């Protein structure tokens, strides 16, 4: 298939991978854009993800990550398992986790106890719920972080809903990741629970109500095979379904739902 026909029909595959467990995951806190490292377990999950890709004969042609260390380090560990350490990588803030505003760094259990279960779930799970924002003057606001110095300050959030994540992610999907697929490449996207939920919502054409119940485990590759830019396997295919189910159960238990 030449590049022109591939672009027309939108055939190809994309591999989605939520980073391995981070210290924020382990502490069960609202991590968001805080740049926390992987745990020992998270590094093992990343290596296992690379082994799963190898066993399934999947060798990504391109790699896309957020600019956060837990995603970048996961990608590095995955590629090392594939003996593919020099594979081209592109990092974008548009693949960052959802910004949780003033909740970042707080334990989820503490927030739930303070504001009540309904407000907690609206901030945590709904499509449009937005946590209290950080002021631009706050030292923790991304506009004050040199990592984002090249980004226009008015583009950087002080808080986000999942709808906001979707709006800032989709241009990167259309202009960068889908462009790889259009020329016959298989991209690996290593990102975060909410940025990948936003992408899955787009791929599977989920409603705002349906996306509330979607959870993604850490460290388990999820493969989408596309035709005309729509999944031939709606919901994608986990390369280790049993481990994915266990991981999803753990995510659900964190929210008390």
Decide: helix, strand or coil at residue 254: helix
Beta strands, E only, the chain: 12-18, 62-65, 89-91, 187-191, 222-227, 230-231, 237-238
Q: Is 21 annotated as a binding residue?
A: yes
Q: Is 235 annotated as a binding residue?
A: no
What pLDDT digit, counting tens, does each position of 69-86 carry? 999 999 999 999 998 877
Give the burial class of 113: count Cβ atoms within 10 A of its Cβ; 0-12 exposed, 13-18 middle, 19 or more buried. Answer: exposed
DSSP bridge pairs for 189: 16, 64
Length of the chain: 257
Cα angle, residue 124 at apex, residues 123 and 127 outer, rounded to 5°: 75
Q: Is 197 annotated as a binding residue?
A: no
Q: Is 31 annotated as a binding residue?
A: yes
Spatial distance between the Cα atoms of 217 and 211, rounded to a whole number of angstroms = 15
On whether the 3-255 domain is CATH 3.40.50.1240, my answer is yes
DSSP state at residue 190: E
For every residue of 105-166, which 3-state class applies, written as one string?
A: CCEHHHHHHHHCHHHHHHHHHCCCCCCCCCCCCCCCCHHHCHHHCCCCHHHCCCCCCHHHHH
**29, 45, 64, 97: the active-site residue:** 97
Q: Is 167 annotated as a binding residue?
A: no
**97 part of the active site:** yes
Q: Is 98 annotated as a binding residue?
A: yes
Distances, alpha carbon 134 to alpha carbons 140, 145, 245, 253, in Å: 8, 13, 35, 28
**19, 141, 172, 192: the active-site residue:** 19
CA 134 to chain centre: 22
What pLDDT, on the 0 to 100 scale, is given for residue 3?
45
What pLDDT, on the 0 to 100 scale, is given for residue 255?
62
pTM as predicted = 0.95
Question: In the chain, what's the furthest Cα-to-Cα distance?
Answer: 57
Q: What is the pLDDT along the chain (257 residues), one digit of tens a residue?
A: 444 444 456 799 999 999 999 999 999 999 999 999 999 999 999 999 999 999 999 999 999 999 999 999 999 999 999 988 777 899 999 999 999 999 999 999 999 999 999 999 999 999 999 999 999 999 999 999 999 999 999 999 999 999 999 999 999 999 999 999 999 999 999 999 999 999 999 999 999 999 999 999 999 999 999 999 999 999 999 999 999 999 999 888 776 43
What pLDDT, on the 0 to 100 scale, is given for residue 251?
83
The domain limits of the chain are 3-255
What pLDDT digit, counting tens, does each position of 14-44 carry? 999 999 999 999 999 999 999 999 999 999 9
**29 part of the active site:** no
């Amino acid at each position: 298939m030449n590049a022109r026909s591939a672009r027309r029909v939108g055939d190809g595959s994309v591999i989605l991978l939520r980073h391995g467990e981070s210290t924020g995951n382990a502490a069960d806190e609202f991590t968001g854009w805080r740049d926390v490292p992987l745990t020992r377990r998270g590094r093992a999950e990343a290596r296992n993800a690379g082994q799963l890709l190898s066993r399934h004969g999947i060798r990504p042609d391109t790699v896309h990550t957020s600019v956060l260390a837990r995603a970048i380090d996961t990608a590095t560990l995955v590629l090392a398992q594939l003996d593919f350490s020099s594979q081209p990588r592109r990092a974008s803030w548009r693949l960052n986790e959802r910004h949780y505003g003033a909740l970042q760094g707080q334990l989820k259990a503490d927030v739930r106890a303070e504001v009540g279960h309904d407000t907690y779930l609206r901030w945590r799970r709904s499509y449009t719920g937005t946590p209290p924002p950080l002021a631009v003057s706050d030292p923790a606001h991304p506009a004050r972080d040199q990592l984002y110095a090249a980004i226009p300050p008015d583009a950087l959030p002080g808080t986000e809903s999942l709808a906001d994540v979707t709006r800032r992610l989709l241009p990167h999907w259309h202009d960068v990741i889908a462009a790889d697929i259009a020329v016959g490449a298989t991209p690996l996207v290593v990102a975060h629970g909410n940025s990948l939920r936003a992408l899955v919502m787009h791929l599977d054409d989920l409603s705002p109500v349906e996306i509330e119940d979607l959870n993604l485990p850490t460290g388990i590759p999820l493969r989408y095979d596309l035709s005309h830019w729509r999944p031939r396997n709606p919901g994608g295919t986990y390369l280790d379904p049993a481990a994915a189910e266990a991981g999803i159960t753990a995510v659900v238990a964190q929210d008390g739902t």
